[in-house]
Amino acid sequence: MEDQIAGGDFDYLSGFGNHFSSEALAGALPPAQNSPLICPYGLYAEQISGTSFTSPRHRNLFSWFYRIKPSVTHEPFKPRVPSNERILSEFNHSNSSVNPTQLRWKPIDTPNSPTDFIDGLSTVCGSGSSFTRHGYAIHMYTANKSMDKCAFCNADGDFLIVPQQGRLFITTECGRLKVSPGEIAILPQGFRFSVNLPDGPSRGYVAEIFGTHFQLPDLGPIGANGLATSRHFLVPTAWFEDKSYHGYTIVQKFGGELFAAVQDFSPFNVVAWHGNYVPYKYDLRKFCPYNTVLFDHGDPSINTVLTAPTDKPGVALLDFVIFPPRWLVAEHTFRPPYFHRNCMSEFMGLIHGGYEAKADGFLPGGASLHNCMSPHGPDTKSYEATIARGTDVGPYKITDTMAFMFESSLIPRISQWALESPFLDHDYYQCWIGLRSHFTVPETSKNPTLQNGQ
């Protein structure tokens, strides 16, 4: 399957969780075994594991690479200069705070000085720890420069990248992904990848999960079809460069710190590979939404694209949920999101257009965080406009929108970077302050006995 956005040499395999095989040179995959004494073309065999060797078969993730030189061929890791102190991979008193206040950020500016994807990454919030393999971090990135002679390797967790502005051309050990705003990319723990920015200034959101991987949600009574479909997930095909370099750097994020190791060749030297532990992308416009067809507002879990589980059935470490264009048809119903308090914590971003619950202030590239049990819902303008429309509204379609939510059962602590950001909207609370009482009791219903509390 060739990329339909721009054509060319970005080819993909399709499916979710399959055991894929791909070779850039015919015959490069050993046909009968993983570790032949001599591999075809004199390649080295190397395995990457995404789960413990002993994980149950239906959860076991691994891939075999057949590469020109093995990954281990590099000088020792040293602290990377410059470091990026804004990246966190465990959350505690010393680096982040708890805050029940409803928070919102305006879109962050793209940088003035040359900044690549690694230097442009900043943690907003998160919970748990990459060391204990339980938790997550939510980052934002803003960059204007392609990574040069360098690859990133995240030893801490899996990245789910949501570009909001600017395409990302991501070279990985399995091949190349072209990811446009409106698509997402998943880069599993340990993969080496390099991010090129063909459109210059770019920004977006990243969810990182520690100790588990994304799955498609179960569909329960929905049945076999709907939401995100396996065949729409695209995995790169093998692509390699046999290239020598003076000082190619592998930047490894390990415990939130950056380390650098120098080598003299491109890490994108995998001529063939097979496995089910792979990077992939998904176009959010392919999502098939299900929703209310008569009355009331369904919970947002109906729009789950991918979920990362905890050990408790039905309780997510991190759900990736979208709010795509769709018809609203519910009768005698308040159609926008309801007012609520949630035991889960909700981080939201907007890829383009507007969001149905916020008439102002929640802008593409911006973000909000409604932490565990902090009340939130439609702003005053959205509420009043909905009520003013009355009950006689027919079906209408929400268009030009793509908002998303990272929702977690683990309560996030918020980074200093996010709390001290000049983009923090200190007036966010004002959007609800104008909600006035509509409470009226007709004279005839007044009951003096009850009024006196007797």
Where along the sequence are the contacts to ligand OMD (CB under 6 A)?
A: 300, 337, 340, 342, 346, 357, 370, 376, 405
**Partner from Fe ion, ligand OMD, none binding residue 301, C-beta < 5-8 Å depending on class:** none
Q: Residue 408 CB, nearest distance to Fe ion (Å)?
A: 12
Residue number, 67 or 376, with CB nearest to ligand OMD: 376
Amino acid sitting at position 163? P
Measured at CB, which residue is nearest to Fe ion? 346
- Report the binding-site residues for Fe cation: 340, 376
Residues tagged active-site: 297
CA atoms within 13 A on the CB side of 367: 26
**Partner from Fe ion, ligand OMD, none binding residue 232, C-beta < 5-8 Å depending on class:** none
Residues forming the site for Fe ion (CB under 5 A): 346
Residue number, 184 or 350, with CB nearest to ligand OMD: 350
Length of the chain: 454
**Partner from Fe ion, ligand OMD, none binding residue 46, C-beta < 5-8 Å depending on class:** none
Residue number, 158 or 356, with CB nearest to ligand OMD: 356
Q: Residue 387 CB, nearest distance to Fe ion (Å)?
A: 20
Q: What is the dihedral of CA 302, 108, 153, 236, to 10 degrees?
A: 50
- Report the binding-site residues: 340, 346, 355, 376
3-class secondary-structure state, position 231:
helix
Measured at CB, which residue is nearest to ligand OMD? 337
Three-class secondary structure assignment of 269-300: CEEEEEECCCCEEEEHHHCECCCCCCCCCCCH
User: From the CA atom positions of the chain, what is the Rg in Å?
Assistant: 24
- Report the binding-site residues for homogentisate: 346, 355, 376
DSSP-derived secondary structure for 321-389: EEE-SEEE--TTS--SPPPB--SSEEEEEEEEE-BTTBSSS--TT-EEEE-TT--B---HHHHHHHHHH
Question: Could you give the CA distance from residue 46 to residue 270 in angstroms, rounded to a whole number?
Answer: 10
Q: How far is CA 21 from the centre of its chain?
A: 26
Residue number, 233 or 406, with CB nearest to Fe ion: 406
Reference 276, options 6, 70, 63, 91; nearest CA is 63
Q: Residue 340 CB, nearest distance to ligand OMD (Å)?
A: 6
